[in-house]
């Protein structure tokens, strides 16, 4: 008798759980998205505790350039910056994203800024740091 009751409650519980309405996912992009939407960037999903949003692991190159304070952080890791961006700020010049720009940066870009001139990115173009402008 007890086994029938257990069986009844388990089956009723399983049937009730399956009968619950599933959430219909409707996603709309914002009017002015900060990134170009793509299937690997924007995604919605069902989680055990409700709805969830999946974003990519980092920021787009344009955002990292627009906000230099983020350039050295984890959100901008993996981005490769062009030489002119690397020469524009010491924050960029010190990032891993500017490691390959040492080949493309010019002598004039290096000596244009005292801090950048002394950074590792300018070692090939300005080996004698006496040519660098004085630090203020």
Q: Is 14 a residue whose pLDDT tops 80?
A: no
**Backbone phi, psi, residue 44, to 5°:** -110, 155
CA–CA separation, 39 vs 42, rounded Å?
A: 6
Q: Are 123 and 130 in contact (CB under 8 A)?
A: no
Average pLDDT over residues 106-127: 91
pLDDT for the residue 72: 82
Burial 38-73 (b: 16+ CB within 10 A, else e): eeeebeeeeeeeeeeeeeeebbebebbbeebebbbe
pLDDT for the residue 59: 83
pLDDT for the residue 107: 92
What the block records as the tokens of 38 is 């793509």
For residue range 42-97, list pLDDT tens digits in order.
Answer: 555 555 666 555 555 678 889 899 988 888 888 888 889 999 999 998 999 988 88
């Amino acid at each position: 008798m007890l086994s029938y009751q257990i069986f009844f409650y388990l089956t009723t519980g399983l049937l009730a759980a399956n009968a619950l309405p599933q959430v219909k996912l409707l996603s709309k992009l914002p009017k002015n998205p900060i990134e170009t939407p793509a299937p690997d960037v924007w995604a919605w999903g069902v989680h055990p505790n409700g709805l969830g949003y999946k974003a990519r692991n980092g920021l787009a190159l344009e955002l990292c350039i627009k906000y230099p304070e983020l350039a050295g952080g984890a959100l901008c890791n993996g981005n490769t910056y062009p030489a002119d961006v690397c020469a524009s700020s010491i924050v960029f010049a010190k990032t891993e994203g500017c490691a390959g720009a040492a080949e493309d940066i010019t002598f004039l870009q290096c000596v244009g800024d005292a801090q950048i001139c002394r950074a590792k990115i300018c070692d090939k173009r300005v080996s004698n740091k006496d040519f660098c402008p004085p630090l203020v």
